[in-house]
Structure 1
Amino acid sequence: MPADLQPSGGGRARRAATTVALFALLTACGPALPPRGEVTTAESAPSAASAQPDVQAAAPVRLRIPDIGVDAPVAPLDVGEDNVLPAPDTNEGTGWWRGGPEPGERGPAVIAGHVDSYQGPAVFFRIAELEPGQRIHVDRSDGTTAVFVTTRLERHAKDAFPTEVVYGDTPGAELRLITCGGEFDTADRRYLDNIIVYAMLER
């Protein structure tokens, strides 16, 4: 991975989001990150709870969403030599984009997961059921837990993915959960949309 993808602290999101050109590959669920040199900003202002100075948080190790029955490991995802972010290696686990901030640091932490497979439902199968105000718990390697509150859920066609809003810098700590959704193209064996959950840090 290029060195400019690995700054620490809240500045990681700003530098990574404005200097990286890559695509995520998530069983064809891949949103593009901003092109090199593009300056991005978030669409929404943070709540008082999420507004905070830069902090260094530990890496995420587990994702828990009680309202939809998610209790899954989180593994780091790194960009490969082909500038592609691979999918999580299991349908039951999730993947955190290590080039962005850790959950709880300022900026948008991104966690992706599969919605299903030929074997049946996957970790984010029920993600579309999430509603504003429900909580997402991210356990970290130092034993702490970052708790986020969902603010909204969106579905976008893959050719209209809201890259700036998802990956753009934010004044506070936020979280994005991303998976596939919408209609399934049986010819290409891929979903046509992405589902995105937005959440802000509560504590």
Structure 2
Amino acid sequence: MGTCRNYLHVDSYKGPAVFFDLDQLQTGDEVLIYGQGSILTFEVKEVVAYPTKKAPINQIFGSSDSPSLNLITCTGLYNREAETHQERLVVYTELVAQKDA
């Protein structure tokens, strides 16, 4: 099985972006993906903020034994010198249901 990953922005100089509220997800919440005639339901298993340079890349981007969707974005304080946030927020999910749209 593989892991689907998406890295989108939390904000920009224009304001909040698509993942602005990602940190509001909690264990047990559902993430629904609509597309290609079906609806995939993923359950949040864990939400973790890692220091940018200490994020476990293999765990986040590696393969998994079951279908999963890992969502990742920036979080924490913005470091203007480095032009990035100090942490990466990762929402780990697993597929729990699939049905025709």
Cα displacement (A) at 1:123: 0.5
Q: Where do 5+ consecutive residues of structure 1 fail to align?
A: 1-105
**Residue type at the aligned position of 2:78:** F
Aligned to 2:33: 138
Cα displacement (A) at 1:149: 0.4
In percent, how many aligned pairs have the same letter? Answer: 28
Note the alpha carbon deviations across 1:66-119, whole angstroms, 9 max, x for none. xxxxxxxxxxxxxxxxxxxxxxxxxxxxxxxxxxxxxxxx22110121100111
Q: Which runs of 4+ in 1 moved over 2 A?
A: 186-189
**Residue type at the aligned position of 1:200:** E
CA distance, structure 2, for counterparts of residue 125 and residue 185 of structure 1:
17
Question: Does the alignment pair 1:111 with 2:6?
Answer: yes
CA RMSD of aligned residues (A): 1.1
Aligned to 1:124: 19
Question: Does the alignment pair 1:174 with 2:68?
Answer: yes
CA distance, structure 2, for counterparts of residue 138 and residue 112 of structure 1:
15
Equivalent position SS for 1:202: strand
TM-score w.r.t. the length of structure 2 is 0.89
Which of 37, 44, 48 is 1:150 aligned to? 44
Which is richer in strand? Answer: 2
The structure whose RCO (Cα within 8 Å, separation 6+) is larger is 2
TM-score w.r.t. the length of structure 1 is 0.46
Output aligned runs, 1:22-37, within 5 Å: none
Aligned to 1:188: 82
Q: Where do 5+ consecutive residues of structure 2 fail to align?
A: none
CA distance, structure 2, for counterparts of residue 177 and residue 170 of structure 1:
14
Cα displacement (A) at 1:186: 2.2
Equivalent position SS for 2:53: helix
Note the alpha carbon deviations across 1:160-190, whole angstroms, 9 max, x for none. 1111111222111011001001111123332
**Residue type at the aligned position of 2:81:** A
Q: Which has the larger radius of gyration?
A: 1
CA distance, structure 1, for counterparts of residue 44 and residue 20 of structure 2:
17
Note the alpha carbon deviations across 1:107-148, whole angstroms, 9 max, x for none. 2110121100111111101111100111001112x2111110
